[in-house]
Amino acid sequence: MSNGSCVVIVGSQWGDEGKGKIVDVLAEEIDIVARYQGGANAGHTVHVGDDEFILHQIPSGILHPDRTCLLGNGVVFDPFQFFEELDEIRAKVPDAEQRVGVSGRAHLLLYYHKLLDRAAEASRGAGKIGTTGRGIGPAYEDKVARQGIRVADLRDAERAEQLLRRAAERINRKLESLDSAEKVDADLLVRDVMGVRERLLKLTVDTGRVIQDALNAGKRVLLEGAQGALLDVDHGTYPYVTSSNTTAGGAGLGVGIGPTMIDDVVGVVKAYTTRVGEGPLPTEFPSPLQEEIREKGGEFGATTGRPRRCGWFDAVVVRYAALVNGLTGLAVTKLDVLDGLEELKIATRYQAGGGTLDDFPGDLALLEDAKPEYESLPGWSEKTSEARRWEDLPEAAHRYLRRLEELTGVPIWYVSVGTRRDQIIHVKR
């Protein structure tokens, strides 16, 4: 990254692509890492030496000294989970709290949002959408309905208490309408929120101003999202999506800067495809390959522990992600998981609705009917986890990666062959 530059790191499949490890490696070159959307439903697993960190809200840049980490206005902010996470990090990174800032415009995600989330999902019956139950959807619903509570609203303690008690009454009526036995205790809610109020207000900043000033001073900024492009509320496989704009267009909005300040957008993809929860996955593996790749790749949610569904690399998906994000480069993760497979397949287009689809469809019924057309390439037997340079990779891996570039139209800048920092190969040319 050059001086005075801003790059967006965005998941370009259905989430869980390994964005955290890419952000962690790029953080060596940047000054500020800012999260622009989502909440504690995301999980970034990062290995530093023998230590493993699972980060839900705090950007993985916090694991590097002197980096400033911000949570933007586009985040739905769970203060209790945040401070629990921060205190765990402080055990090994003592100055972490001095390097974190939270937008005053970020909306609070409180425990009543989680009650609503679980009650709403239970009421859907067979039509459930696979929510994590972390309250993300209800928190964004409050935001859009203009009845949310923001971090900045805690400055006036008396007004904050009024807002919390009003919210408790409203949520209890809603829970009752969903036939939930749960109930919000207004006194407990007020006590808990007021208990973290002063500590949170000390961290409150205007993230847009901080980032703009940094860029004007020639510093380098990285904006990171949660989930993936196919979970974007507008551009994903609706309704099996999250409740925010995960794509790069949401990055400037989610931290408070204009789109002209963004220089590059790096899309993170696995060397295969996964998704967790409900919804279509056209290239899903059959058994026993499904279970083999899941175990080999450790494909279990960092936040929920749910098993991920796995499939062949879907170039239709990533071409679409490149379109809606304006990708300038790709980071391919977990190439090592494909070691030992004799044959690799790549979905190049779909057969659906009586015709051929080169583009990813917005019609869910059409997508559920889609049958991928595959291109086959030879696999490799060598262990790619030992590679540290592009030249160290097997020739068959070179051919596979080059074909991904050709089919997606995006150059590969990074390749990950393991979980450690030294297992990220820089291929940018």
- The answer to whether residue 426 is catalytic is no
Q: Which long-range contacts (CB under 8 A, 24 or more apart) does 151-157 make?
A: 151/77, 151/102, 151/103, 151/104, 151/105, 151/106, 151/107, 151/108, 151/200, 151/201, 151/204, 152/104, 152/105, 152/204, 154/193, 154/197, 154/200, 154/201, 155/201, 157/194, 157/197
- The answer to whether residue 422 is catalytic is no
Active-site choice (16, 24, 31, 314): 16
Tokens encoding 244: 């925010």
Active-site choice (24, 31, 44, 314): 44
Three-class DSSP labels, the chain: CCCCCEEEEEECCCCCCCHHHHHHHHHHHCCEEEECCECCCCCEEEEECCEEEEECCCCHHHHCCCCEEEECCCEEECHHHHHHHHHHHHCCCCCHHHHEEEECCCEECCHHHHHHHHHHHHHHHHHCCCCCCCCHHHHHHHHHCCCCCEHHHHCCHHHHHHHHHHHHHHHHHHHHHCCCCCCCCHHHHHHHHHHHHHHHHCCEECHHHHHHHHHHCCCCEEEECCCCHHHCCCCCCCCCCCCCCCCCHHHHHHHCCCHHHCCEEEEEEECCEEECCCCCCCCECCCCHHHHHHHHHCCECCCCCCECEEECEEHHHHHHHHHHHCCCEEEEECHHHHCCCCEEEEEEEEEECCEEECCCCCCHHHHHCCEEEEEEEECCCCCHHHCCCHHHCCHHHHHHHHHHHHHHCCCEEEEECCCCHHHEEECCC
Sign of CA dihedral 303, 306, 308, 309: negative
Q: Which long-range contacts (CB under 8 A, 24 or more apart) does 122-128 make?
A: 122/178, 122/180, 123/178, 123/179, 128/278
Could you give the residue numbers annotated as active site? Answer: 16, 44
